[in-house]
């Protein structure tokens, strides 16, 4: 890090060598805005609006019901899944897209627990994104199981032969710390349990190879680094070896072997399609479909290099220009870091708001975290430099203490 040129010219120089520089123009970002919140809501790819207009006006408006066949809406979930698969190291036939992340977590946790009917424990870690813990507790309640909270620093220590499922988030939403997916998957298998990885903060920003690590299940959202739009459908991965045994609980017609035969009794479809429940959300899936095209020619190794370069650079600048004003709660070792950096500060909410007023968008996470995400496809080193420069200005002028920041927004 010591060799980094911390001037703005240095940032410009780093951007010149960015192998993903050509992708920036695929996004429609407001001029001059520094957007470091792609880990909450990804920016709008330029391909989305025209495609959504076509799907709405032509496929729905003109084609009407015939578009289920003529525009092949019925296979849209499979087509979108096939675009996500290479980003997470999965065969296309092992990925399903549809429902919210929460609903897919529920389906997978129930299915996973049912694969180990003689075991009573779901292990989860207490700093995970809340919905993962809420769903685990809900599933445990429903099935008469028990939730065991592990030590975030050592989840494997909670594993024993009572454990059915270990559910972990690959990259922590608050700290940005990244678990060793291969080692923890292996440890889970050693006790005969299955593992479910939450990829919400990895997919599209951190290389993931689910097949290589031998993962059982994974789930992730598509509105962060995959840029699918607010509340876009989530994805789920089920290892092929589990397809035949997969008994997910929400047995709807779209997961039936022959949906249009309208049989009275449920027969799950072969393969990943049994993860489906209701009619696919065509408009939302179409936005996601177009959004994923920005990844068409992206090399995930290059993506990771850019991500690490951006986060390293941010940390170096904060160290150099802000000393110990903030506590950096994200690992300094890039090998165990996702694509974000989080700064703890007692007035973190005000810091985030004051930065927004200066055109730098990060977000606040309770109780004291200012969180900055670095989406490698559209964030530049100059963005990083400008963000830290304005953060210095905010702190120098105590802008974060402005009284208007005493009351938080509905959504923080």
Q: Which of 7, 13, 56, 301 binds a copy of itself (CB under 8 A)?
A: 56
Minimal distance, residue 107 CB to a copy of itself, in Å: 9
361-380 binders of a copy of itself (CB under 8 A):
361, 363, 365-366
Could you tell me which of 36, 128, 8 has the C-alpha nearest to residue 342?
36
Per the annotation, the verdict on 349 as an active-site residue is no
Per the annotation, the verdict on 35 as an active-site residue is no
Q: Which two tokens stand for residue 198?
A: 């939450």
Which residue, 322 or 356, is less far from a copy of itself as judged by CB?
A: 356
CA angle (154 as vertex; 150, 157 as ends), nearest 5: 70
Per the annotation, the verdict on 198 as an active-site residue is yes
Minimal distance, residue 233 CB to a copy of itself, in Å: 7
Which residue, 93 or 207, is less far from a copy of itself as judged by CB?
A: 93
Which residue, 332 or 408, is less far from a copy of itself as judged by CB?
A: 408
Distance CA 197, CA 219 (A): 6
Q: Is the CB of residue 291 less than 8 Å from the CB of residue 83?
A: no
Minimal distance, residue 354 CB to a copy of itself, in Å: 14
Choices 163-171, 282-290, 309-317, 335-343 (CB under 8 A): range interacting with a copy of itself: 282-290
**Catalytic-role residue among 337, 365, 371, 390:** 371
Per the annotation, the verdict on 241 as an active-site residue is no
Contact characters 284-323, a copy of itself, x per CB under 8 A: xx-x------------------------------------
Minimal distance, residue 373 CB to a copy of itself, in Å: 10
Per the annotation, the verdict on 225 as an active-site residue is no
End-to-end CA distance of the chain: 33
Under the binding rule (CB under 8 A), the answer on residue 64 touching a copy of itself is yes
Q: Which two tokens stand for residue 85?
A: 């698969």
Minimal distance, residue 260 CB to a copy of itself, in Å: 5
> What is the torsion angle, in degrees rounded to the nearest 10, for the CA atoms of residue 49, residue 51, residue 55 and residue 61?
60
141-to-120, 134, 137, 145 alpha-carbon distances in Å: 11, 10, 6, 6
Choices 41-49, 208-216, 316-324, 378-386 (CB under 8 A): range interacting with a copy of itself: 41-49
Neighbour-count burial of 32, counting CB atoms closer than 10 A to its CB (0-12 exposed, 13-18 middle, 19+ buried): exposed
β-pairing, 360-361 vs 217-220, is unpaired
183-242 binders of a copy of itself (CB under 8 A):
221, 223, 229-234
234-263 binders of a copy of itself (CB under 8 A):
234, 249-254, 256, 259-263
Name beta bridge partners: 360.
34
**Catalytic-role residue among 94, 172, 198, 383:** 198
Q: Which of 7, 13, 66, 325 binds a copy of itself (CB under 8 A)?
A: 66
Could you tell me which of 157, 161, 156 has the C-alpha nearest to residue 121?
161
78-137 binders of a copy of itself (CB under 8 A):
98-103, 105-106, 110, 126, 129-131, 133-135, 137
Distance CA 374, CA 306 (A): 9
Distance CA 2, CA 178 (A): 24
Binding residues for a copy of itself, rule CB under 8 A, total 93
Under the binding rule (CB under 8 A), the answer on residue 158 touching a copy of itself is no
Under the binding rule (CB under 8 A), the answer on residue 265 touching a copy of itself is yes
Choices 37-45, 78-86, 209-217, 397-405 (CB under 8 A): range interacting with a copy of itself: 37-45
Q: Which residues contact 344 (CB under 8 A, 6 or more apart)?
A: 326, 327, 328, 329, 368, 369, 370
Q: Is the CB of residue 36 less than 8 Å from the CB of residue 383?
A: yes
- Give the residue numbers marked as catalytic: 129, 198, 223-224, 371
């Amino acid at each position: 890090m010591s060799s980094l040129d911390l001037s703005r010219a240095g940032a410009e120089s780093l951007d010149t060598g960015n192998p993903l520089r050509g992708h920036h123009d695929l996004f429609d970002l407001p001029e001059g805005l520094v957007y470091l919140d792609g880990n909450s809501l990804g920016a709008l790819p330029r391909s989305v609006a025209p495609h959504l207009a076509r799907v709405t006006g032509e496929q729905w408006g003109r084609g009407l019901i015939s578009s289920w066949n003529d525009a092949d809406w019925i296979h849209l979930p499979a087509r979108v899944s096939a675009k996500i698969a290479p980003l997470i190291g999965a065969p296309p036939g092992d990925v399903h897209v549809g429902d919210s992340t929460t609903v897919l977590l529920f389906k997978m946790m129930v299915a996973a627990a049912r694969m180990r009917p003689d075991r009573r424990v779901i292990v989860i870690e207490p700093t995970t994104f809340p919905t993962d813990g809420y769903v685990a507790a809900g599933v445990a309640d429903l099935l008469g199981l028990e939730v065991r909270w592990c030590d975030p620093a050592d989840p494997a220590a909670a594993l024993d032969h009572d454990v059915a499922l270990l559910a972990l988030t690959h990259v922590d939403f608050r700290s940005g710390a990244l678990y060793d997916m291969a080692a923890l998957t292996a440890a889970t298998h050693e006790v005969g349990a299955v593992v479910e990885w939450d990829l919400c903060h990895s997919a599209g920003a951190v290389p993931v190879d689910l097949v290589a690590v031998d993962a059982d299940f994974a789930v992730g959202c598509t509105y962060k680094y995959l840029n699918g739009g607010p509340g876009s459908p989530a994805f789920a991965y089920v290892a092929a070896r589990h397809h035949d045994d997969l008994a997910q609980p929400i047995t709807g017609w779209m997961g039936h072997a022959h949906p249009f035969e309208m049989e009275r009794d449920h027969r799950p479809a072969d393969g990943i399609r049994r993860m489906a429940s209701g009619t696919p959300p065509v408009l939302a899936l179409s936005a996601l479909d177009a959004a994923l095209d920005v990844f068409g020619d992206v090399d995930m190794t290059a993506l990771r290099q850019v991500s690490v370069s951006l986060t390293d650079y941010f940390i170096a600048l904060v160290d150099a220009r802000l000393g110990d004003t903030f506590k950096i709660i994200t690992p300094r070792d890039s090998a165990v870091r996702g694509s974000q950096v989080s700064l703890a500060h007692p007035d973190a909410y005000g810091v985030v708001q004051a930065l927004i007023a200066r055109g730098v968008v990060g977000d606040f996470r309770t109780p004291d975290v200012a969180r900055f995400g670095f989406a490698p496809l559209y964030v530049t080193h100059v963005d990083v430099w400008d963000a830290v420069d304005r953060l210095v200005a905010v702190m120098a002028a105590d802008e974060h203490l402005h009284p208007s920041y005493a009351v938080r927004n509905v959504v923080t």
